[in-house]
Structures are given as C-alpha cells and as structure tokens.
C-alpha cells in the first residue's frame, strides 16, 4: 500500500487509505446521499435521469445552498448499453447485429444532460421528482448553432458524449461534447460535423433551445473554465481530451456587462480562438483572416486545408497542428485558481509517451492577463505511487484555493499492474500554497469500476456534489466481482449523482 508521509498536510478530515471496497468511502464524520440514479423520474411529464452521469453543477434557487437546480451531464453507454436499450453491445457480432430504431431512440435519450431540482430536508439531499424545472436535453433535442460555422446546418438534432462542462457568469451551463464519434458510429448518424461543440443550456428556462457555440471550436471538448480578463473580455479555457491534442482558450471580442445578464451569451459568438504552444509560452490565434499559415496550409495532395474561419473551427485539430501547437498528454479539466488566477490543467495520462500517471500543469498568464498571448508554466503535481494519485481528471477549487481532484484510472486497468496501489478511483485534496503545496491526501474512494466525476460545491461549501460514473464497468466480462452500487445485494450497478455532507 501507499505509506503516508509523516509531514503530510493535515486537512480538516482524516484522510482515507486506498481501498477496493464497492462503495463511496468517505472520512469519518462525512456521509453521502444518493440524489438521483439512472431512470429516476425528474418531472411531472415522466422524463427520466440519463445514464453515466458526469459533470455536475449546482445553481442555487433564491441564493440558497440547500435548494437549487443541478445540471448533470450524461456521457455515454459503453458496454453497459444493455441496461438502457436491451442491446448487448459486448456480445453482438458487429456484422450481424444492428440496433433497432427503438434501441437507437433509447440510446440517444439516455445521453445529453438533465436539469433536476434538489433540496436538503432534515439533513438529507433529495430529488424533487415532480419538479417544474426538471428537464432533459438529450440526443433527440433540437439545437441551434451560433458563430462563424453556424452555416453548416440550420438546425442540429441532439447533444451527446457530454463529458464535463462549466457555468457561465450569467447562470447558464456549458456542456462539452467529447467522444461524439462513438455515438455517431453506433447510431449511424449522418453528419458528425454537428457534434464536438460546446453547448449552452439555460436550466431556468426549460422552453429555451440549447445553443452550440461554434466560435469555441470543434474537438473532443472536456470542459470550460470562464473568467473575465483585466480588459473586460470574457475568456474560456478548454482542453481536447485525446492523446497528443491541445489546450485552447477563447477570448471574446466584446466586454462582459454584468447588467446585460443572459445577453452576454452573444460574447460566445464572436471572438478569437487561441491554441497553446508550451515551448514558446505563446497563445497562437486560430484566425483564418490574419494567419498566413492557415491560409497556406495544404493536405498531402497539395489541396488547401481551409478556405474560411468556419473550416478552421470545424477542423480545429488540423488548424492547431498546422500552426505548431504543442501536443499534450490528454488535457482534461481546466480550472482557474480563485485567488491568484493561475490556470490548472489536468493531463490525465498518455501511454504512448510512457506517461502512465499523469500530472497537473499550472499555467501563469503574463501580467495575469487572461486575454494576453504570453504565459509560463510549471508541473504543479505529478501522479504516481509517491504522490498517491494517478490519472487526474476533473477538478474544483474551494474558496481557500485548495484543489479537489478526481481520478480516472480506466476501469480496464484499475487494481491491476502498476495501478494496484491506488485502489479504486478517488477524490483527492491538494493545497496550492504553503508548506504542503502539491501534496495529495485522499478524501473519497469510488465504487468498483467507477470514476467520480464533476465535483461541485454549494456556495456555502457544506455540500460536495459528485457523479458516480460507470460503476461495474469492464467487470462483466472478467472473473471479477461486478459492482452492486448503490442498492447492494445482487442488484445491477447504476450510475448517478451523490451529495456529500459533513464539511
């Protein structure tokens, strides 16, 4: 096992040890409530909570920390598809078997996101199952496109592969489409260009149409971190979670106006998308009109790669590569430090480079200018047996500037080989200043096969919402126990969202 170093940071909880227990394991004095699991009813109309919960974001009602809306992403089905559609993807012969139209409908409905109303009563968090706010945005919902590539389609059906996301300064949600190609292939959808965007949803207006903002580029979006630059411009940091892909930021043309409320959404339609070159410490503008490299880039046959800004945004990875951006080890969550404005980026791993444990990079914008083009960086914390965590993924800050990190050791590698010492995936607290800066202590452990995703605190920091994603994944085909979380006994494991209290 992992030996705790004597001088380790002492948080306000007694750290737990790595474990393989099939439960959410927490320090003494903490408890969790299961708020919603797959299939739970979320409104009067009978809509239900989707599958493989990921990003969570709490939006207070009337400023309260015990009553609000929770947005939850639903990312994918994977081998657990048979829970949802009855189609056994694990044992299907890809040449013989085809999903029926009804199986595809169920598949797409289970993805996207849910708006649920949650309340704390008598110390316990629960779902309001007949809420007037309860609403689904799914693979079947109509969306519109905005920005320079909006002309590629009048209307788009569905969002899916929604991994992590973020909240805007005007209380809407940004949900990120990540591995959309898997769904496009499984469901044989005609146009993959419609996916891979950042989607804006207004949880307080169930009748609103979600928007896909093309100005933020098309790639495997992990999440968004929004800040206001000293110039008043809005800045959105983003990672592309794939081996050797890039870190981006979007800078709005106009300035944020707190009095304009939801009208600020327009800022996500016109601006400049930059990609990071870590060797030069420079942000490079992916702007077709001003960038000669993009204008002159050709494919191997000598044909121009791009002829407009829309082309650049739709084929962002090619554009980033053409301008010499630095390939990274799967950039997952990006979060901005609430006190000093430094930018934390989780590089989860990249087996191709022998980077098995991942690390967290800390980027410093020159003069603290988020809208600028120069930066420096350091490795803030590296995963491994010494540090006690591996494969950092989603992150959240508390108001003291401590970083809360969840890990995503893949369910196929968990508790085997080099990953054995870490036990199941976990939640870790890492101070960002002081004597114990960069040292991780473990706060929670996930059920068997699961990762915990999308950590989000209530404004009073008394509750931490987290998703329990893919419990039991990759264990059904091996001689290992399958998870029975959260119902125990011989029940089938269900993904869902929990509320941790005791802070």
Enumerate binding residues for ligand FEO (CB under 6 A). 75, 163, 178, 222, 241, 332
Closest separation in Å from C-beta 451 to Ca ion: 5
SS3 assignment for 308-319:
CHHHHHHCHHHH
Nearer to ligand FEO, 176 or 498 (CB): 176
Nearer to ligand FEO, 23 or 222 (CB): 222
The CA dihedral of 400, 465, 139, 42, to the nearest 10 degrees, is -140
Closest separation in Å from C-beta 243 to Ca ion: 12
With CB under 5 to 8 Å by kind, the binding choice for 79 among ligand FEO, Ca ion, none is: none
Which stretch, 163-171, 273-281, 353-361, 376-384, contacts Ca ion (CB under 5 A)?
163-171
With CB under 5 to 8 Å by kind, the binding choice for 40 among Ca ion, ligand FEO, none is: none
With CB under 5 to 8 Å by kind, the binding choice for 75 among Ca ion, ligand FEO, none is: ligand FEO
Closest separation in Å from C-beta 340 to Ca ion: 25
With CB under 5 to 8 Å by kind, the binding choice for 178 among ligand FEO, Ca ion, none is: ligand FEO
Nearer to Ca ion, 221 or 484 (CB): 221
Nearer to ligand FEO, 9 or 55 (CB): 55
Closest separation in Å from C-beta 405 to ligand FEO: 14
Longest dimension (CA), the chain: 68
Closest separation in Å from C-beta 232 to Ca ion: 31
Closest separation in Å from C-beta 160 to ligand FEO: 12
Q: Is 122 exposed, middle or buried (0-12, 13-18, 19+ CB in 10 A)?
A: exposed
- What are the φ and ψ backbone dihedral angles of 2, each rounded to 5 degrees? -90, 130
Closest separation in Å from C-beta 395 to Ca ion: 10
Closest separation in Å from C-beta 245 to ligand FEO: 11
Which stretch, 98-106, 151-159, 245-253, 406-414, contacts Ca ion (CB under 5 A)?
406-414
With CB under 5 to 8 Å by kind, the binding choice for 365 among ligand FEO, Ca ion, none is: none
200 binds Ca ion (CB under 5 A): no
Nearest to 489 by CA among 22, 25, 82: 22
177 binds Ca ion (CB under 5 A): no
Q: In the 8-state DSSP scheme, what is residue 262?
A: G
SS3 assignment for 452-487:
EEEEEECCCCCEEEEEEECCCCCCCCCCCCCCCCCC
Nearer to ligand FEO, 75 or 439 (CB): 75
Nearer to ligand FEO, 246 or 288 (CB): 246
| Location of structure tokens 């993924």 | 393
Q: In the 8-state DSSP scheme, what is residue 267?
A: G
Residues 6+ apart with CB under 8 A from 178: 75, 161, 162, 163, 220, 221, 222, 241
393 binds Ca ion (CB under 5 A): yes
Residues 6+ apart with CB under 8 A from 487: 494
408 binds Ca ion (CB under 5 A): yes
Closest separation in Å from C-beta 7 to ligand FEO: 33
Nearer to Ca ion, 210 or 239 (CB): 239
79 binds Ca ion (CB under 5 A): no
Which stretch, 158-166, 381-389, 439-447, 473-481, contacts Ca ion (CB under 5 A)?
158-166
With CB under 5 to 8 Å by kind, the binding choice for 450 among ligand FEO, Ca ion, none is: none
Which stretch, 15-23, 159-167, 197-205, 308-316, contacts Ca ion (CB under 5 A)?
159-167
CA angle 135, 139, 143 (to 5 degrees): 75
Q: Is the Cβ–Cβ distance between 32 and 26 less than 8 Å?
A: yes
Minimal CB distance to Ca ion: which residue?
408
For Ca ion, the binding residues in 222-241 under the rule CB under 5 A are none
Closest separation in Å from C-beta 184 to ligand FEO: 16
Nearer to Ca ion, 203 or 449 (CB): 449
Nearer to Ca ion, 120 or 330 (CB): 330
Nearer to Ca ion, 134 or 495 (CB): 495
- # residues near Ca ion by CB under 5 A: 3
Closest separation in Å from C-beta 18 to ligand FEO: 22
Nearest to 218 by CA among 313, 348, 285: 313
- What are the φ and ψ backbone dihedral angles of 183, each rounded to 5 degrees? -70, -40
Nearer to ligand FEO, 178 or 335 (CB): 178
Nearer to Ca ion, 54 or 202 (CB): 54
Q: What is the DSSP string of 48-95?
A: B--SSEEEEEEEESTT-SSEEEEEEEE---GGGHHHHTS--TTT--TT
Cα 271 from Cα 293, distance rounded (Å): 19
Closest separation in Å from C-beta 178 to ligand FEO: 5
Nearest to 218 by CA among 190, 199, 202, 234: 199
Report long-range pairs for 13-16 (Cβ below 8 Å, ≥24 apart).
Answer: 13/443, 13/502, 15/441, 15/442, 15/443, 16/442, 16/443, 16/444, 16/445
With CB under 5 to 8 Å by kind, the binding choice for 42 among ligand FEO, Ca ion, none is: none
Residues 6+ apart with CB under 8 A from 447: 21, 22, 23, 24, 424, 468, 471, 472, 483, 485, 486, 493
In sequence order, what are the beta bridge partners of 441?
429
Q: What residue ranges bind Ca ion (CB under 5 A)?
A: 163, 393, 408
């Amino acid at each position: 096992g992992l030996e705790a170093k004597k001088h380790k940071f002492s948080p306000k909880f007694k750290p737990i040890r790595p474990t393989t227990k099939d439960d959410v394991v927490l320090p003494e004095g903490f408890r969790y409530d299961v708020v919603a699991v797959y299939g739970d009813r979320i409104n009067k109309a009978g809509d239900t909570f989707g599958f493989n919960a990921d990003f969570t974001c709490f939006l207070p009602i009337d400023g309260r920390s015990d009553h609000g809306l929770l947005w939850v992403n639903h990312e994918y089905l994977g081998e657990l598809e048979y829970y949802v559609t009855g189609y056994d993807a694990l044992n299907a012969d890809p040449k013989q078997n085809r999903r029926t139209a009804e199986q595809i409908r169920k598949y797409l409905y289970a993805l996207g996101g849910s708006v649920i109303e949650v309340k704390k009563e008598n110390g316990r968090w629960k779902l309001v199952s007949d809420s007037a706010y309860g609403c689904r945005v799914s693979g079947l919902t109509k969306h519109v496109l905005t920005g320079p590539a909006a002309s590629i389609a009048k209307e788009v059906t569905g969002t899916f592969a929604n991994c992590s996301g973020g909240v805007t300064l005007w209380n809407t949600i940004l949900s990120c489409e990540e591995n959309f190609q898997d769904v496009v292939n499984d469901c044989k959808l005609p146009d993959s260009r419609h996916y891979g965007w950042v989607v804006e949803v207004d949880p307080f207006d169930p009748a609103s149409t979600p928007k896909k903002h093309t100005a933020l580029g098309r790639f495997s979006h992990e999440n968004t971190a929004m800040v206001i630059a000293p110039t008043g411009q809005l800045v959105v940091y983003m990672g592309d979670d794939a081996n050797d892909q890039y870190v981006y930021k979007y800078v709005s043309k106009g300035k944020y106006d707190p009095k304009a409320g939801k009208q600020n959404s327009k800022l996500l339609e016109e601006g400049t998308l930059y990609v990071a070159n870590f060797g030069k410490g420079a942000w490079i503008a992916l702007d077709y009109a001003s960038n000669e490299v993009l204008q002159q880039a050709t494919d191997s046959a000598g044909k121009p790669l791009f002829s407009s800004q829309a082309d650049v945004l739709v084929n962002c990875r090619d554009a980033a590569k053409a301008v010499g951006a630095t390939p990274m080890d799967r950039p997952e969550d990006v979060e901005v430090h609430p006190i000093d404005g430094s930018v934390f980026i989780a590089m989860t791993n990249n087996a191709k480079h022998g980077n098995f444990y991942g690390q967290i990079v800390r980027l410093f914008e020159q003069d603290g200018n988020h809208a600028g083009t120069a930066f420096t960086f350091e490795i803030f914390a590296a995963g491994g047996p010494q540090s006690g965590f591996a494969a950092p993924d989603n992150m959240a800050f508390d108001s003291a500037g401590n970083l809360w990190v969840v890990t995503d050791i893949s369910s196929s590698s968990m508790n085997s080989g080099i990953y054995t010492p870490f036990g199941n995936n976990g939640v870790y607290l890492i101070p960002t200043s002081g004597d114990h800066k960069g040292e991780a202590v473990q706060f929670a452990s996930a059920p068997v096969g699961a990762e915990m995703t999308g950590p989000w605190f209530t404004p009073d920091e008394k509750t931490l919402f987290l998703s329990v994603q893919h419990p039991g994944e990759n264990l059904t085909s091996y001689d290992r126990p399958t998870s029975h979380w959260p119902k125990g006994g011989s029940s089938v494991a269900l993904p869902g969202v929990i509320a941790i209290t005791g802070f």
